[in-house]
Amino acid sequence: MTELNELYRCKICGNIVEVVGSGFGELVCCGKPMEKIEAAKEETMYEKHLPVLVKTENDKYLIRVGSVEHPMTEEHYIMFIEAVSKDGKYLKRVFLNPKEKPELDLECVCRHFKAREFCNIHGLYEAELSKEKAD
């Protein structure tokens, strides 16, 4: 069974899909079952991938990818960043291209939320963030 917001990838063609309504069926692409994409569990590349929340000078908030900025080259870049409220009702996402800044502004998302980002090479990273804890 799939769940809301899960991501799946086709190992053959590279399609990535997100579940926007859960069901019992198996997701299939190119004639094969799709692989569920899990968030990274190892902390080894967290400094360049884990979403962090930053309060800007004008009292706005940004999600940045990594405490050390992630590369944004043609070969290695962040494909998207998103924030989802705790109840799952509100989502804000930005799709990125190489050379763009790996950031998402958060004007209209709740105080506590889950953030995640997807690196085209290293995969999915997620973090629970709170505006109270932003610096």
120: closest CA among 83, 82, 71, 84?
A: 71
Angle at 130 between CA 47 and CA 103, to 5 degrees: 50
Nearer to Fe ion, 2 or 118 (CB): 118
* Binding residues for Fe ion restricted to 115-134, rule: CB under 5 A: 119, 121-122
Q: How far is the CB of 78 from Fe ion (least distance, A)?
A: 7
In the complex, the smallest distance separating the C-beta of residue 134 from Fe ion, rounded to whole angstroms, is 23
Q: Which is nearer to Fe ion, 47 or 128 (by Cβ)?
A: 47
Residue whose CB is less far from Fe ion, 46 or 85: 46
Nearest Cα to 118, choosing from 1, 3, 8, 4? 8
Q: Which stretch binds Fe ion (CB under 5 A): 12-20, 33-41, 84-92, 111-119?
A: 111-119
CB closer to Fe ion out of 65 and 83: 65
Q: How many CA atoms lie within 13 A of 44 on its CB side?
A: 2
CA distance 90 to 112: 11
- The residues, any chain, with a CB within 8 Å of residue 64's CB and separated by 6 or more, are 51, 52, 53, 54, 102, 103
65 is an interface residue for Fe ion by CB under 5 A: no
- We find the least distance from the C-beta atom of residue 119 to Fe ion, in angstroms, to be 3
Q: Which residues bind Fe ion (CB under 5 A)?
A: 119, 121-122
